[in-house]
């Protein structure tokens, strides 16, 4: 694949530092992660036209990488972006990066692995300095050690969700099933919620007042022993959420998708979020109201234990620890 004008340096095998320094992938080259950047004429910078995935490792091995890659391909189809790197190659590079970059990590640490593709250089800027000979989508893969400290406190107390005035972008504008990076609404939602209560997490409603998702997690709730999720057509079909579905199936906990008006969520017995870095996080308050008894609920607990035993690692302990 030809360069898309990104500021990538040639992959010089002899270059020193590669042994210990984390590496990244950009448009067919391996570069030091610290040099990874996008030129300002790339559609990823100019228009937020990027599709992406975030995978995590458990014990330094990627979790459900294959499912993440399938979803990436689906997002690319939605976005009508064609790339000439196949799923196999993306998978192989991902494994290589993880292997290399995890080496200096402590055992209690784990990596986030990010894969993203932008639509490439935007023609409006084609006379700008640095514009490439051939404009192609930018394909990038990199890792970073997960910052568990961001989540530790809330794993214990539970998150407080607030529904801000900002609403989910409707599918008629762009489909929530496509994981893309035009996320101004998520940012505004989070800013608004935290301006009122600094520890809050924004839960976005759709234009009709039904629950969708937070800026980084799926929302799940429990009522009378059944786990409920918003319908998949109106949310990002999260891989962690998919894992909950499979765990629930194995644990014989009913799991149902339906439209969830906010008032149903406010009167739930239990609620939690699912997301790649922390897997599951309990929700104990919503819009100031206590959910259930105000402590992490029993179904959350059972799911977290089963998930932990499946990956051979006490997830809560890792995050809090």
Near a second copy in 25-54, by CB under 8 A: 32-41, 43-50
Cβ 125 to a second copy shortest distance, Å: 5
Q: Of the listed pieces 86-94, 126-134, 245-253, 311-319, which binds a second copy according to CB under 8 A?
A: 126-134
Subset of 57-76 contacting a second copy (CB under 8 A): 74
Subset of 207-266 contacting a second copy (CB under 8 A): 207-209, 216, 233, 258-259, 261-264, 266
CA angle 202/205/211 to nearest 5° reads 95
Integer CA distances (angstroms), 84 to 1, 142, 274, in order: 7, 19, 32
DSSP 8-state symbol, 249: H
Subset of 144-163 contacting a second copy (CB under 8 A): 144-147, 150, 162-163
Cα dihedral 107, 112, 113, 116 in deg (nearest 10)? -170
Subset of 186-205 contacting a second copy (CB under 8 A): 186-188, 191-192, 194-197, 200, 205
Alpha carbon 50 to its chain's center: 13
Subset of 82-111 contacting a second copy (CB under 8 A): none
Would residue 90 be called left, alpha or beta, if left means φ above 0 and alpha means ψ between -120 and 50 degrees?
A: alpha
H or E segment and range at residue 160: strand 159-162
Q: Does residue 185 touch a second copy according to CB under 8 A? A: yes
Q: Does residue 173 touch a second copy according to CB under 8 A? A: yes
Q: How many residues of this chain interact with a second copy, rule: CB under 8 A?
A: 96
What phi, psi does 105 have (nearest 5°)? -80, 150
Decide: 166 and 188 in contact? Cβ < 8 Å: yes
Cβ 103 to a second copy shortest distance, Å: 14
Give the nearer residue to a second copy in terms of CB position, either 79 or 299: 79
DSSP, collapsed to helix, strand or coil, labels residue 306 as helix
**Applying CB under 8 A, which of residues 19, 88, 107, 127 lies at the interface with a second copy?**
127
């Amino acid at each position: 694949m030809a360069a898309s004008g990104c500021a990538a340096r040639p992959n010089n095998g002899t270059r020193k530092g590669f042994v210990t320094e984390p590496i990244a992938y950009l448009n067919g080259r391996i570069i030091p992660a610290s040099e990874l950047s996008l030129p300002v004429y790339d559609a990823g910078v100019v228009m937020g036209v990027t599709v992406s995935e975030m995978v995590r490792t458990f014990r330094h091995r990627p979790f459900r990488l294959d499912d993440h890659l399938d979803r990436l391909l689906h997002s690319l189809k939605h976005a009508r972006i064609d790339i000439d790197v196949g799923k196999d190659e993306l998978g192989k590079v991902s494994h290589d990066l993880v292997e290399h970059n995890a080496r200096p990590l402590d055992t209690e640490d784990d990596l986030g692995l990010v894969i993203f593709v932008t639509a490439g250089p935007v023609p409006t800027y084609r006379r700008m300095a640095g514009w490439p000979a051939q404009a192609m989508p930018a394909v990038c893969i990199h890792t970073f050690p997960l910052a568990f400290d961001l989540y530790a406190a809330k794993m214990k107390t539970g998150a407080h969700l607030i529904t801000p005035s900002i609403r989910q972008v409707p599918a008629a504008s762009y489909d929530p099933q496509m994981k893309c990076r035009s996320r101004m609404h998520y940012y505004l939602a989070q800013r608004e919620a935290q301006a009122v209560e600094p520890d809050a997490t924004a839960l976005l409603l759709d234009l009709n007042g039904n629950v969708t998702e937070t800026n980084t997690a799926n929302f799940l709730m429990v009522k009378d022993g059944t786990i409920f999720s918003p319908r998949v057509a109106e949310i990002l079909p999260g891989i962690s959420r998919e894992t909950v579905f499979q765990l629930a199936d194995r644990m014989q906990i009913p799991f149902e998708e339906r439209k969830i008006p906010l008032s149903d969520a406010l009167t739930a017995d239990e609620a939690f979020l699912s997301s790649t870095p922390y897997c599951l996080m309990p929700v104990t308050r919503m819009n100031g109201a206590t959910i259930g008894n105000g402590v992490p609920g029993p179904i959350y607990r059972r799911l977290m234990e089963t998930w932990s035993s499946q990956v051979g690692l006490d997830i809560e302990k890792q995050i809090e620890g």
